[in-house]
Amino acid sequence: MFRIGGARIAKAGARNFGTKAQPPSRLRNAVWATSGIVVGGLGYLYLTDASAGFHKYVSTPLMRQLDAEQAHQLAISSMKRGVCPVDRSTDDSVLEIELWGKSVTNPIGVAAGFDKNGEAIDALFGLGFGSVEIGSITPEAQEGNARPRIFRVEDSDAVINRMGLPNCGVVSAGERLRSRFWRLLASQSKQQGESVATLSSSVNRSAVAGRLLGVNVGKCKSSGDGSFDDYVTGLQKLGPYADYVVINVSCPNVTNMKANGNVEVLERTVEAVMKARNKMSGEYRPPVVLKIGPDNDLQQLRVIAQVAMDYRVDGIIATNTTRQRPGVIGVKEEGGLSGAPLKDMALATTREMYRLTQGKMAIIGCGGIRTAEDALAFAKAGASCVQVYSSMTMDGPGKAREIKDGVVRLLKGRKWADVVGEDARRK
Protein backbone atom coordinates (compact mmCIF):
# COMPACT_ATOMS: atom_id res chain seq x y z
CA MET A 1 0.00 0.00 0.00
CA PHE A 2 1.40 3.50 -0.85
CA ARG A 3 0.11 7.07 -1.17
CA ILE A 4 -0.20 9.46 -4.18
CA GLY A 5 -1.51 12.83 -3.29
CA GLY A 6 -2.89 11.57 -0.06
CA ALA A 7 -4.80 8.75 -1.70
CA ARG A 8 -4.10 5.19 -0.68
CA ILE A 9 -3.39 2.98 -3.65
CA ALA A 10 -3.28 -0.83 -3.37
CA LYS A 11 -0.35 -2.66 -4.94
CA ALA A 12 -1.15 -4.91 -7.84
CA GLY A 13 -1.80 -8.43 -6.69
CA ALA A 14 -2.62 -7.39 -3.11
CA ARG A 15 -5.92 -8.72 -1.63
CA ASN A 16 -8.85 -6.27 -1.59
CA PHE A 17 -10.19 -5.35 1.83
CA GLY A 18 -12.90 -7.77 2.90
CA THR A 19 -11.77 -10.68 0.71
CA LYS A 20 -11.72 -13.87 2.82
CA ALA A 21 -8.53 -15.83 2.94
CA GLN A 22 -8.91 -19.30 1.37
CA PRO A 23 -8.10 -22.22 3.65
CA PRO A 24 -4.95 -24.10 2.87
CA SER A 25 -5.51 -26.74 0.19
CA ARG A 26 -4.51 -29.53 2.59
CA LEU A 27 -7.22 -28.57 5.07
CA ARG A 28 -9.82 -28.26 2.34
CA ASN A 29 -8.93 -31.69 0.93
CA ALA A 30 -9.06 -33.21 4.40
CA VAL A 31 -12.54 -31.78 4.97
CA TRP A 32 -13.77 -33.14 1.65
CA ALA A 33 -12.18 -36.53 2.28
CA THR A 34 -13.68 -36.78 5.77
CA SER A 35 -17.10 -35.77 4.45
CA GLY A 36 -16.84 -38.38 1.71
CA ILE A 37 -15.90 -41.09 4.19
CA VAL A 38 -18.78 -40.19 6.52
CA VAL A 39 -21.35 -40.04 3.72
CA GLY A 40 -19.99 -43.22 2.16
CA GLY A 41 -20.02 -45.02 5.51
CA LEU A 42 -23.57 -43.97 6.25
CA GLY A 43 -24.62 -45.00 2.76
CA TYR A 44 -22.96 -48.37 3.22
CA LEU A 45 -24.67 -48.93 6.57
CA TYR A 46 -28.02 -47.99 5.05
CA LEU A 47 -27.74 -50.14 1.91
CA THR A 48 -26.47 -53.16 3.86
CA ASP A 49 -29.32 -52.95 6.38
CA ALA A 50 -31.97 -55.50 5.45
CA SER A 51 -34.69 -53.21 6.84
CA ALA A 52 -33.73 -50.25 4.64
CA GLY A 53 -36.60 -48.99 2.51
CA PHE A 54 -34.32 -49.14 -0.52
CA HIS A 55 -34.64 -52.91 -0.64
CA LYS A 56 -38.41 -53.01 -0.33
CA TYR A 57 -39.17 -50.10 -2.65
CA VAL A 58 -36.28 -50.10 -5.13
CA SER A 59 -34.11 -53.21 -5.40
CA THR A 60 -36.86 -55.81 -4.93
CA PRO A 61 -39.27 -54.20 -7.46
CA LEU A 62 -36.35 -54.05 -9.91
CA MET A 63 -35.66 -57.75 -9.37
CA ARG A 64 -39.30 -58.47 -10.10
CA GLN A 65 -38.86 -57.03 -13.57
CA LEU A 66 -36.77 -60.09 -14.36
CA ASP A 67 -38.10 -63.53 -15.17
CA ALA A 68 -39.03 -65.17 -11.85
CA GLU A 69 -36.43 -67.94 -12.06
CA GLN A 70 -33.72 -65.56 -13.26
CA ALA A 71 -34.43 -63.28 -10.32
CA HIS A 72 -34.23 -66.24 -7.95
CA GLN A 73 -30.91 -67.39 -9.41
CA LEU A 74 -29.50 -63.86 -9.19
CA ALA A 75 -30.53 -63.62 -5.55
CA ILE A 76 -28.86 -66.92 -4.63
CA SER A 77 -25.73 -66.04 -6.62
CA SER A 78 -25.43 -62.69 -4.84
CA MET A 79 -26.07 -64.14 -1.40
CA LYS A 80 -23.52 -66.93 -1.67
CA ARG A 81 -20.93 -64.26 -2.61
CA GLY A 82 -21.81 -62.15 0.40
CA VAL A 83 -23.53 -59.41 -1.61
CA CYS A 84 -26.50 -59.22 0.69
CA PRO A 85 -27.85 -56.93 3.44
CA VAL A 86 -28.03 -58.04 7.06
CA ASP A 87 -30.36 -57.70 10.02
CA ARG A 88 -28.38 -55.69 12.60
CA SER A 89 -31.03 -55.71 15.32
CA THR A 90 -31.08 -58.06 18.29
CA ASP A 91 -34.09 -60.34 18.68
CA ASP A 92 -36.40 -59.47 21.55
CA SER A 93 -36.42 -62.11 24.29
CA VAL A 94 -40.20 -62.57 23.93
CA LEU A 95 -39.54 -64.24 20.58
CA GLU A 96 -37.26 -66.95 21.96
CA ILE A 97 -38.51 -70.52 21.60
CA GLU A 98 -37.24 -74.02 22.25
CA LEU A 99 -37.45 -76.74 19.61
CA TRP A 100 -36.27 -80.29 20.25
CA GLY A 101 -34.26 -79.14 23.24
CA LYS A 102 -32.52 -76.34 21.35
CA SER A 103 -32.95 -72.64 22.01
CA VAL A 104 -33.86 -70.46 19.01
CA THR A 105 -33.82 -66.66 19.21
CA ASN A 106 -36.94 -66.20 17.08
CA PRO A 107 -39.68 -68.35 15.49
CA ILE A 108 -39.48 -66.95 11.93
CA GLY A 109 -37.83 -69.28 9.42
CA VAL A 110 -37.34 -69.49 5.69
CA ALA A 111 -39.01 -72.44 3.98
CA ALA A 112 -37.40 -75.04 1.73
CA GLY A 113 -37.32 -74.18 -1.95
CA PHE A 114 -35.52 -70.86 -1.72
CA ASP A 115 -32.03 -72.24 -1.11
CA LYS A 116 -32.36 -75.62 -2.76
CA ASN A 117 -28.68 -76.58 -2.62
CA GLY A 118 -27.55 -75.00 0.64
CA GLU A 119 -25.51 -72.28 -1.05
CA ALA A 120 -26.77 -69.24 0.88
CA ILE A 121 -27.29 -70.56 4.42
CA ASP A 122 -25.23 -67.95 6.24
CA ALA A 123 -26.63 -65.08 4.20
CA LEU A 124 -30.15 -66.20 5.15
CA PHE A 125 -29.21 -66.42 8.82
CA GLY A 126 -27.78 -62.94 8.38
CA LEU A 127 -31.22 -61.70 7.33
CA GLY A 128 -32.44 -62.57 10.82
CA PHE A 129 -34.21 -65.88 10.31
CA GLY A 130 -34.30 -68.18 13.32
CA SER A 131 -34.24 -71.24 11.08
CA VAL A 132 -33.22 -71.93 7.51
CA GLU A 133 -34.48 -75.00 5.66
CA ILE A 134 -32.67 -76.04 2.49
CA GLY A 135 -33.79 -78.45 -0.22
CA SER A 136 -35.57 -80.49 -1.32
CA ILE A 137 -32.50 -82.61 -1.98
CA THR A 138 -32.70 -85.99 -3.69
CA PRO A 139 -30.13 -88.82 -3.77
CA GLU A 140 -29.18 -88.02 -7.37
CA ALA A 141 -28.82 -84.59 -8.91
CA GLN A 142 -31.71 -83.72 -11.21
CA GLU A 143 -32.74 -80.84 -13.46
CA GLY A 144 -36.42 -80.73 -12.56
CA ASN A 145 -39.21 -79.90 -14.97
CA ALA A 146 -38.92 -77.93 -18.19
CA ARG A 147 -38.83 -74.13 -18.12
CA PRO A 148 -40.63 -71.81 -17.69
CA ARG A 149 -41.67 -73.22 -14.33
CA ILE A 150 -42.14 -70.29 -11.94
CA PHE A 151 -44.94 -67.76 -12.45
CA ARG A 152 -45.84 -64.70 -10.43
CA VAL A 153 -49.52 -63.96 -9.89
CA GLU A 154 -49.15 -60.28 -9.03
CA ASP A 155 -52.83 -59.48 -8.47
CA SER A 156 -53.12 -62.22 -5.86
CA ASP A 157 -49.70 -61.86 -4.18
CA ALA A 158 -49.07 -65.46 -5.17
CA VAL A 159 -46.58 -67.65 -6.97
CA ILE A 160 -47.15 -70.81 -9.00
CA ASN A 161 -44.22 -73.16 -9.45
CA ARG A 162 -43.74 -76.52 -11.08
CA MET A 163 -40.00 -76.80 -10.47
CA GLY A 164 -40.00 -80.58 -9.98
CA LEU A 165 -37.29 -80.65 -7.28
CA PRO A 166 -34.19 -79.51 -9.22
CA ASN A 167 -31.12 -79.89 -6.99
CA CYS A 168 -27.47 -80.88 -6.85
CA GLY A 169 -27.99 -84.26 -5.12
CA VAL A 170 -26.95 -85.54 -1.71
CA VAL A 171 -23.25 -85.99 -2.52
CA SER A 172 -22.67 -82.37 -3.52
CA ALA A 173 -25.00 -80.98 -0.85
CA GLY A 174 -23.48 -83.21 1.81
CA GLU A 175 -19.96 -82.06 1.01
CA ARG A 176 -21.09 -78.43 1.14
CA LEU A 177 -22.80 -78.90 4.51
CA ARG A 178 -19.88 -80.88 5.95
CA SER A 179 -17.31 -78.32 4.82
CA ARG A 180 -19.34 -75.41 6.17
CA PHE A 181 -19.94 -77.08 9.55
CA TRP A 182 -16.30 -77.94 10.26
CA ARG A 183 -15.04 -74.62 8.90
CA LEU A 184 -17.27 -72.65 11.25
CA LEU A 185 -16.37 -74.91 14.16
CA ALA A 186 -12.66 -74.42 13.49
CA SER A 187 -13.18 -70.66 13.54
CA GLN A 188 -15.15 -70.83 16.79
CA SER A 189 -12.50 -73.10 18.31
CA LYS A 190 -9.85 -70.43 17.77
CA GLN A 191 -12.06 -67.69 19.19
CA GLN A 192 -13.28 -69.59 22.25
CA GLY A 193 -10.20 -71.66 23.02
CA GLU A 194 -12.16 -74.93 23.00
CA SER A 195 -11.34 -77.98 20.93
CA VAL A 196 -13.32 -78.68 17.78
CA ALA A 197 -14.31 -82.06 19.21
CA THR A 198 -15.81 -80.41 22.29
CA LEU A 199 -17.71 -77.87 20.23
CA SER A 200 -19.02 -80.45 17.79
CA SER A 201 -20.88 -82.24 20.56
CA SER A 202 -22.51 -79.10 21.95
CA VAL A 203 -23.32 -76.68 19.12
CA ASN A 204 -26.31 -76.66 16.81
CA ARG A 205 -25.76 -78.24 13.41
CA SER A 206 -26.32 -74.77 12.00
CA ALA A 207 -23.05 -73.87 13.78
CA VAL A 208 -24.74 -70.59 14.68
CA ALA A 209 -25.94 -69.94 18.22
CA GLY A 210 -29.71 -69.67 18.51
CA ARG A 211 -30.33 -70.79 14.92
CA LEU A 212 -31.51 -74.09 13.40
CA LEU A 213 -30.63 -75.58 10.03
CA GLY A 214 -33.21 -77.87 8.45
CA VAL A 215 -32.60 -80.18 5.50
CA ASN A 216 -35.57 -81.16 3.35
CA VAL A 217 -35.17 -84.47 1.49
CA GLY A 218 -37.25 -85.76 -1.40
CA LYS A 219 -37.53 -88.51 -4.00
CA CYS A 220 -35.80 -88.74 -7.34
CA LYS A 221 -38.07 -88.42 -10.33
CA SER A 222 -37.06 -91.91 -11.46
CA SER A 223 -37.97 -93.65 -8.18
CA GLY A 224 -41.05 -95.83 -7.83
CA ASP A 225 -44.34 -94.47 -6.53
CA GLY A 226 -44.33 -96.44 -3.29
CA SER A 227 -40.59 -96.40 -2.63
CA PHE A 228 -39.05 -94.84 0.46
CA ASP A 229 -35.33 -95.59 -0.03
CA ASP A 230 -34.62 -92.04 -1.25
CA TYR A 231 -35.82 -90.56 2.03
CA VAL A 232 -33.66 -92.98 4.00
CA THR A 233 -30.63 -92.11 1.86
CA GLY A 234 -31.22 -88.40 2.30
CA LEU A 235 -31.52 -88.80 6.06
CA GLN A 236 -28.38 -90.91 6.35
CA LYS A 237 -26.21 -88.68 4.14
CA LEU A 238 -27.39 -85.24 5.27
CA GLY A 239 -28.82 -85.85 8.75
CA PRO A 240 -25.47 -85.53 10.56
CA TYR A 241 -25.33 -81.86 9.49
CA ALA A 242 -28.97 -80.93 10.11
CA ASP A 243 -30.76 -79.70 13.22
CA TYR A 244 -33.81 -81.41 11.75
CA VAL A 245 -34.58 -83.42 8.63
CA VAL A 246 -37.81 -82.92 6.70
CA ILE A 247 -39.44 -85.80 4.81
CA ASN A 248 -41.17 -84.15 1.87
CA VAL A 249 -44.09 -86.43 1.03
CA SER A 250 -46.32 -83.72 -0.42
CA CYS A 251 -44.66 -81.91 -3.33
CA PRO A 252 -47.42 -81.39 -5.94
CA ASN A 253 -44.93 -81.03 -8.80
CA VAL A 254 -43.75 -84.64 -9.00
CA THR A 255 -45.87 -87.64 -9.88
CA ASN A 256 -44.31 -90.34 -7.69
CA MET A 257 -45.06 -89.01 -4.20
CA LYS A 258 -47.94 -91.15 -2.99
CA ALA A 259 -47.25 -91.05 0.75
CA ASN A 260 -49.31 -87.92 1.32
CA GLY A 261 -52.51 -89.56 0.05
CA ASN A 262 -51.91 -93.26 0.45
CA VAL A 263 -52.04 -94.54 4.02
CA GLU A 264 -50.03 -97.70 3.39
CA VAL A 265 -47.26 -95.85 1.55
CA LEU A 266 -47.19 -93.15 4.22
CA GLU A 267 -46.87 -95.66 7.04
CA ARG A 268 -44.14 -97.65 5.29
CA THR A 269 -42.24 -94.47 4.55
CA VAL A 270 -42.43 -93.09 8.08
CA GLU A 271 -41.58 -96.45 9.60
CA ALA A 272 -38.50 -96.89 7.38
CA VAL A 273 -37.24 -93.35 8.00
CA MET A 274 -37.67 -93.51 11.77
CA LYS A 275 -35.94 -96.89 11.95
CA ALA A 276 -33.04 -95.51 9.93
CA ARG A 277 -32.85 -92.43 12.15
CA ASN A 278 -32.82 -94.53 15.33
CA LYS A 279 -30.01 -96.69 13.93
CA MET A 280 -27.75 -93.78 12.95
CA SER A 281 -24.25 -94.22 14.30
CA GLY A 282 -22.83 -91.81 16.86
CA GLU A 283 -24.61 -89.87 19.57
CA TYR A 284 -26.41 -87.43 17.28
CA ARG A 285 -29.74 -88.37 15.70
CA PRO A 286 -31.62 -85.48 14.08
CA PRO A 287 -35.32 -84.84 14.70
CA VAL A 288 -37.51 -85.98 11.79
CA VAL A 289 -40.30 -83.72 10.51
CA LEU A 290 -43.06 -84.65 8.07
CA LYS A 291 -44.12 -82.05 5.49
CA ILE A 292 -47.74 -82.45 4.47
CA GLY A 293 -49.96 -80.77 1.90
CA PRO A 294 -52.96 -78.47 2.43
CA ASP A 295 -55.41 -80.52 0.35
CA ASN A 296 -56.13 -83.31 2.86
CA ASP A 297 -59.60 -83.76 4.28
CA LEU A 298 -60.22 -84.32 7.98
CA GLN A 299 -60.06 -88.11 7.74
CA GLN A 300 -56.72 -87.98 5.95
CA LEU A 301 -55.36 -85.58 8.57
CA ARG A 302 -56.47 -87.98 11.31
CA VAL A 303 -54.51 -90.78 9.66
CA ILE A 304 -51.41 -88.60 9.19
CA ALA A 305 -51.55 -87.49 12.83
CA GLN A 306 -51.96 -91.07 14.07
CA VAL A 307 -49.06 -92.37 11.98
CA ALA A 308 -46.87 -89.49 13.13
CA MET A 309 -47.64 -90.19 16.77
CA ASP A 310 -47.37 -93.98 16.45
CA TYR A 311 -43.84 -93.74 15.05
CA ARG A 312 -42.86 -90.76 17.23
CA VAL A 313 -42.18 -88.31 14.44
CA ASP A 314 -40.74 -85.12 15.93
CA GLY A 315 -42.78 -82.54 14.03
CA ILE A 316 -45.07 -81.68 11.13
CA ILE A 317 -44.83 -78.82 8.63
CA ALA A 318 -48.24 -77.55 7.60
CA THR A 319 -48.16 -77.04 4.69
CA ASN A 320 -46.67 -77.46 1.24
CA THR A 321 -48.12 -75.70 -1.83
CA THR A 322 -51.53 -76.57 -3.28
CA ARG A 323 -52.85 -77.61 -6.68
CA GLN A 324 -56.06 -75.73 -5.90
CA ARG A 325 -56.53 -72.08 -6.90
CA PRO A 326 -58.40 -70.41 -4.01
CA GLY A 327 -59.15 -66.80 -4.89
CA VAL A 328 -56.99 -66.90 -8.04
CA ILE A 329 -58.93 -66.17 -11.22
CA GLY A 330 -57.88 -66.57 -14.84
CA VAL A 331 -54.57 -68.34 -14.21
CA LYS A 332 -54.13 -71.56 -16.16
CA GLU A 333 -50.54 -72.47 -15.30
CA GLU A 334 -50.12 -75.82 -13.59
CA GLY A 335 -48.10 -76.30 -10.43
CA GLY A 336 -48.17 -75.62 -6.72
CA LEU A 337 -49.68 -72.36 -5.54
CA SER A 338 -48.03 -70.44 -2.71
CA GLY A 339 -48.45 -66.98 -1.26
CA ALA A 340 -51.43 -65.15 0.21
CA PRO A 341 -54.21 -67.38 -1.26
CA LEU A 342 -52.73 -70.41 0.53
CA LYS A 343 -52.92 -68.89 4.00
CA ASP A 344 -56.40 -69.98 5.05
CA MET A 345 -55.81 -73.58 3.95
CA ALA A 346 -52.44 -73.77 5.70
CA LEU A 347 -53.80 -72.13 8.84
CA ALA A 348 -56.73 -74.54 9.01
CA THR A 349 -54.38 -77.51 8.57
CA THR A 350 -52.07 -76.17 11.29
CA ARG A 351 -54.97 -75.79 13.70
CA GLU A 352 -56.29 -79.28 12.96
CA MET A 353 -52.90 -80.98 13.26
CA TYR A 354 -52.25 -79.29 16.60
CA ARG A 355 -55.60 -80.58 17.86
CA LEU A 356 -55.12 -84.08 16.48
CA THR A 357 -51.62 -84.41 17.96
CA GLN A 358 -52.89 -82.96 21.26
CA GLY A 359 -50.21 -80.29 21.28
CA LYS A 360 -47.54 -82.92 21.89
CA MET A 361 -45.69 -82.43 18.61
CA ALA A 362 -43.97 -79.40 17.09
CA ILE A 363 -46.07 -77.93 14.29
CA ILE A 364 -44.35 -75.60 11.85
CA GLY A 365 -46.78 -73.26 10.10
CA CYS A 366 -46.05 -72.47 6.46
CA GLY A 367 -48.18 -70.94 3.72
CA GLY A 368 -49.20 -67.38 2.90
CA ILE A 369 -47.53 -65.73 5.89
CA ARG A 370 -46.76 -62.11 5.00
CA THR A 371 -47.43 -60.04 8.12
CA ALA A 372 -46.93 -60.19 11.86
CA GLU A 373 -50.67 -60.72 12.21
CA ASP A 374 -50.42 -63.78 9.95
CA ALA A 375 -47.52 -65.21 11.96
CA LEU A 376 -49.30 -64.71 15.26
CA ALA A 377 -52.48 -66.32 13.90
CA PHE A 378 -50.45 -69.44 13.10
CA ALA A 379 -48.95 -69.43 16.60
CA LYS A 380 -52.39 -69.26 18.19
CA ALA A 381 -53.49 -72.09 15.90
CA GLY A 382 -50.67 -74.23 17.28
CA ALA A 383 -47.49 -73.43 15.31
CA SER A 384 -44.34 -73.58 17.41
CA CYS A 385 -42.69 -71.57 14.65
CA VAL A 386 -43.48 -70.41 11.12
CA GLN A 387 -41.80 -70.24 7.72
CA VAL A 388 -41.96 -67.70 4.89
CA TYR A 389 -40.78 -67.77 1.29
CA SER A 390 -43.05 -66.11 -1.27
CA SER A 391 -43.56 -62.98 0.85
CA MET A 392 -39.79 -62.47 1.09
CA THR A 393 -39.48 -62.56 -2.69
CA MET A 394 -42.29 -60.01 -2.94
CA ASP A 395 -41.31 -57.62 -0.15
CA GLY A 396 -37.56 -57.98 0.08
CA PRO A 397 -34.84 -59.13 2.48
CA GLY A 398 -36.21 -57.19 5.44
CA LYS A 399 -39.19 -59.54 5.78
CA ALA A 400 -37.89 -61.42 8.82
CA ARG A 401 -37.20 -58.21 10.77
CA GLU A 402 -40.52 -56.70 9.70
CA ILE A 403 -42.48 -59.69 11.00
CA LYS A 404 -40.42 -59.99 14.19
CA ASP A 405 -40.87 -56.33 15.11
CA GLY A 406 -44.59 -56.54 14.38
CA VAL A 407 -45.01 -59.68 16.47
CA VAL A 408 -43.25 -58.07 19.44
CA ARG A 409 -45.70 -55.15 19.29
CA LEU A 410 -48.71 -57.47 19.02
CA LEU A 411 -47.57 -59.65 21.92
CA LYS A 412 -47.59 -56.63 24.25
CA GLY A 413 -45.14 -58.15 26.68
CA ARG A 414 -46.29 -61.75 26.35
CA LYS A 415 -44.04 -64.44 24.93
CA TRP A 416 -44.51 -66.22 21.61
CA ALA A 417 -44.29 -69.56 23.42
CA ASP A 418 -47.21 -68.54 25.65
CA VAL A 419 -49.64 -68.04 22.76
CA VAL A 420 -48.85 -71.25 20.86
CA GLY A 421 -52.10 -73.26 20.72
CA GLU A 422 -54.14 -70.51 22.38
CA ASP A 423 -57.10 -71.09 20.05
CA ALA A 424 -57.41 -74.71 21.20
CA ARG A 425 -57.24 -73.74 24.87
CA ARG A 426 -60.08 -71.26 24.47
CA LYS A 427 -62.52 -73.96 23.38
Q: Is the pLDDT of residue 6 over 50?
A: no
C-beta separation of 352 from 298 below 8 A: yes
| DSSP code per residue over 289-348 | EEEE-S---HHHHHHHHHHHHHTT--EEEE---BSS-TT--S----SEEEEGGGHHHHHH
C-beta separation of 255 from 218 below 8 A: no
Q: Is the pLDDT of residue 340 over 50?
A: yes
C-beta separation of 163 from 144 below 8 A: yes
Of all helices (H) and strands (E), which one includes residue 247?
Answer: strand 244-248
> Across-strand partners of 213?
132
pLDDT grade, residue 89 (50/70/90)?
very high
281-286 mean pLDDT: 90
- As a whole-number percent, the residues of the chain with pLDDT over 70 amount to 93
User: What's the chain's Rg over C-alpha atoms?
Assistant: 27
Q: Is the pLDDT of residue 125 over 60?
A: yes
18-27 mean pLDDT: 63
Q: Is the pLDDT of residue 46 over 80?
A: no
Looking at residue 27, its pLDDT comes to 82
Tally of CB atoms within 10 A around 28 = 11
Q: Residue 248: what are its φ and ψ, rounded to 5°?
A: -85, 95
Question: Rounded to an integer, what distance in angstroms lies between the CA atom of residue 171 and that of residue 266?
Answer: 26
Segment 127-149, tens digit of pLDDT: 999 999 999 999 999 999 999 99
Return the closest-CA partner of residue 205 out of 242, 174, 239. Answer: 242
List of residues 6+ apart from 314 with CB closer than 8 A: 100, 244, 287, 288, 289, 361, 362
Segment 181-211, tens digit of pLDDT: 999 999 999 999 888 888 888 899 999 999 9
Q: Is the pLDDT of residue 24 over 70?
A: no
Looking at residue 23, its pLDDT comes to 55
Q: Is the pLDDT of residue 110 over 90?
A: yes
Alpha helices in 127-280 (DSSP H): 170-192, 196-200, 229-238, 263-278
- As a whole-number percent, the residues of the chain with pLDDT over 90 amount to 79
